[in-house]
Structure 1
């Protein structure tokens, strides 16, 4: 949960009167101070006694049944999603000693929301926007892969987290309106006939009551990009009803019509218009496609550095020993390429569009493989398949390096150890045949 000292919800005198300040909840959390208050309760800064770390705790009063279901559903979903770009929930449950309320213990985030950034700056440059939205895309991709649709994506739900060493890290907040797809038993906690989400960011299919899926989030993603560049959302009428009608009926206006100073490359405006297509079928199919398009925009902006990126630390893989009865050229050896070779690297980058520049928001570890589709594991957790981008949390990596294993059936696993990095890291794992005779040519596996 975010820590926003600039927007206190109560005066200091009223904070001292809060009966929970100084109390130890559930024998686990000591309440230290108030962070914010809202219609569903209060968010406190607290200390988790067992781990001696500061956390944010949302505490509610007794809720009606619909609000209670929404709260529990959001907490249970966030507790299961472990991703660098999604708010982490540590604990949640009932609080019988607090008027029958509920609590949710979360990571304490310090920084500002994208909404606050836009209020202070007016609008963002394409380079700054792309670096932020890359991280949002990765977080949404993780949620969508679990059949979760956020449904309330907007700048106030995107937190730009300050880090001790390096640029901000983006976190997606507030999964209170999340929808689980392909779940007939899922309980919808909104009123029948109502439109969920925020009027400026809701997709047309949600407005007309048509079937919706993860592409509703892609629509909101496009609205946020438009707003960040133009200084205002494309559909923002005086009334909610007119705003909803505009989403369904009105064409997307040119960004420059709202912001004459905006210098938006054609590829970026094209991506935004694609995300804002009225029909979900005309939008990008998933966040992977959006991510590739963002990389193409970086190329057009010239923000990708055509130079070798510093390598991660990669132990040399052992040479495999062919098993008896197996043709020797079917046993593959892994070759790890940790820097761009002048011609091959440039060609690969242009072909795949997966290389990133040293980012002003967060360094990223790019992992590719030939053949592609290798799983990247962190212990027992599968983080994804190649090509894959992993954001680097330098504060965490300074304490414990990231240890990954790149694995592909029939091939020798390759281990990668990654520590803190100020620039993007790129690793290419290439499996090539191990030949028993120099007369036989190398063949791709």
Structure 2
């Protein structure tokens, strides 16, 4: 059964398991040092056995073993939260019981040994004798208090769970105090009565329990507040995936469906009126698209504090930008396969009157989906434009252009409103060029220099840039897409697809794609875990009057 308010997400369970294992290992190491120290002391000074029975060393070692068992059972492969809690509670109770046996054994040895009686009979040393008599109980209380406070601060569990576990671990302190006081009373030493020792132990452990509960409540409460801050309606954000032209993309999960989801949030620094309208229009227009090679939109909403977001399918794969960065130029067969799929997605958008306006490698994801490899998905319609949009209704500021300079068609640079489906095909040709050669069509030290190349410079043939043969039909098609005059490019995405089908290249099979993912998938995963989320070639707005980006 889950305690009220406790989270059960994979992330929370992994954290709980990791913290329990780390706590057990850390405290177990401290206990091991103590066992070794006591063993050395007894071997070097045998008279220590007058105060420390040899058998108690075994129980102290057993307590250390209990902590080691907790560590071994909670490290490594994922375990359920229930399993981790049971292992932790059982191990701590067993370790506490072993330590309590040690303390009781030491108290019993002191009571029945001769040295303590000599101290208690002498008025000058009696106070030291009483102090020595309660030292095992004080030492046990200190060790258990240290352990439970350390656990409360380190292991993320609810205050209720911490309270019950702390009470259970320290409960034997009370009967141990009672038994020690009773034994002393029976021998005629009445400074500490059984009730006073038991009451003192109860008060001390009660304070410890309150402190542990408050620590756990504060830390667990802060974690819940952070988690609540990451909750958008029925979605919980789990980690940043990347950033696009209009906002940040997070991995998320739905509270009821348990379906992995990607959530796109409008970046706080872009939350002006224009950005809000553009972001809202992005999701509304993207939701109209149903092509299998276009990312699917699930939901759309606004947080309580007004932050816009939308939920879309979470893609298991990599952007073309990442693919080329990790593997360099791609085989012509793969280039043709990807361009065919992307052309299909753009074709649907163009048919219903939408232009993407930001086609680039970072906005095309090669996903593994439905048992298929290399399923191309077009994402980030943040700059999408309706072809028949009324004059005066444009979201962009007058005299500016928005897009990615490395993939911007020349006609957009001279006349921002002249964008057409063939502008997207220009950008797609530049994507194909990048996949074939591993390099951008044009390079430059400044944005203006790159834009100037798009307007005036002829692209170098991919085969020349690559220094290797490229299928003639494919090279011709890429260069046609990159023509300065839109009339010289393929006139539609459908025409582009037909010409791609006519290219004389080997078929890019599922087997080839699978082998590629097996070889490079681990490297892609390592890149993402070892560094910051990928940030694509910058999408920016350029003022055509001042020529500033």
Check if 1:68 corresponds to 2:276.
yes
Residue aligning to 2:483: 277
Aligned residue runs from structure 1 range 326-365, under 5 A: 358=509
The answer to whether the Cα contact below 8 Å between 1:72 and 1:93 also exists between their aligned partners in 2 is no
Equivalent position of 2:471 in the other structure: 265
CA distance in 2: counterparts of 1:120 and 1:70, whole angstroms: 33
**Which of 111-120 and 251-260 deviates more?**
251-260
Q: Secondary structure at the match of 2:312?
A: strand
Alpha-carbon distance, 1:49 to partner: 2.6
What aligned pairs does 1:105-254 form with structure 2 within 5 A after superposition? Answer: 105-163=311-369, 165-184=371-390, 187-209=393-415, 211-254=418-461
TM-score by length of 2: 0.49
Task: Note the C-alpha offset of 1:18.
Answer: 9.8
Matched, 1:93 2:301: yes
* 1:136/1:244 CA distance change after superposition, 3 Å: same
What is the DSSP-based 3-state SS (H/G/I as helix, E as strand, rest coil) of the residue aligned with 1:244? helix
Contact map agreement 2:409 2:426 (CA 8 A) in 1 = yes
Superposition deviation, residue 50 in structure 1: 3.6
Q: Is the 8 A contact 1:29 1:49 kept in 2?
A: yes
SS in 2 for 1:188: coil
Equivalent position SS for 2:478? helix
Q: Who is 1:79 aligned against? A: 287
SS of 1:80's equivalent? coil
| Larger deviation, residues 26-35 vs 147-156 | 26-35
Q: Distance in 1 between matches of 2:357 and 2:223?
A: 37
SS of 1:168's equivalent in the other structure is strand
* Aligned match of 1:325: none
Q: What is the CA distance between 1:241 and its match in structure 2?
A: 0.7
Q: Give the number of equivalent residue pairs.
A: 290
**Alpha-carbon shift at residue 27 of structure 1 (Å):** 4.3
State the shift of 1:20 in Å. Answer: 4.8
Task: Decide whether the 8 Å contact of 2:245 with 2:382 is kept in 1.
Answer: no
What is the Cα deviation at residue 19 of structure 1?
Answer: 5.2
Partner residue, 1:433: none
Q: Is the 8 A contact 1:21 1:33 kept in 2?
A: no
Cα offsets for 1:329-366 (capped at 9, x unmatched): xxxxxxxxxxxxxxxxxxxxxxxxxxxx7556899xxx
More strand by share: 1
8 Å contact kept, 2:372–2:510: no
Aligned twin of 2:261: 55
Distance of 1:292 and 1:19 partners within structure 2: 54
Tell me, which stretches of 5 or more residues in structure 1 are unaligned? 1-15, 305-356, 364-445
**What is the SS of the residue equivalent to 1:252?**
coil
2-side partners of 1:178 and 1:360: how far apart?
35
Q: Secondary structure, in 3 states, of the residue corresponding to 1:195?
A: strand
If the length of structure 1 is used for normalisation, what is the TM-score?
A: 0.60
* Offset, 1:163: 3.1
CA displacement, residues 400-424 of structure 1 (integer Å, 9 cap, x when unaligned): xxxxxxxxxxxxxxxxxxxxxxxxx
For CA contacts below 8 A with separation 6 or more, give which structure has more relative contact order.
Answer: 1
Rounded Cα–Cα distance in structure 2 between residues aligned with 1:292 and 1:175: 25
Native 8 Å contact 1:22 1:32 kept in 2: no
Tell me which residue corresponds to 2:65. Answer: none
C-alpha spacing 1:20/1:181, structure 2 compared with 1 (3 Å): farther
Tell me by how many angstroms 1:209 deviates. Answer: 0.9
Partner Cα distance (1:150, 1:38) in 2: 14
- Paired residues of 1:45 and 1:54 also in contact (CA < 8 A): yes
CA change 1:229–1:18 in 2 (3 A) is: farther
Q: Which residue of 2 aligns with 1:403?
A: none
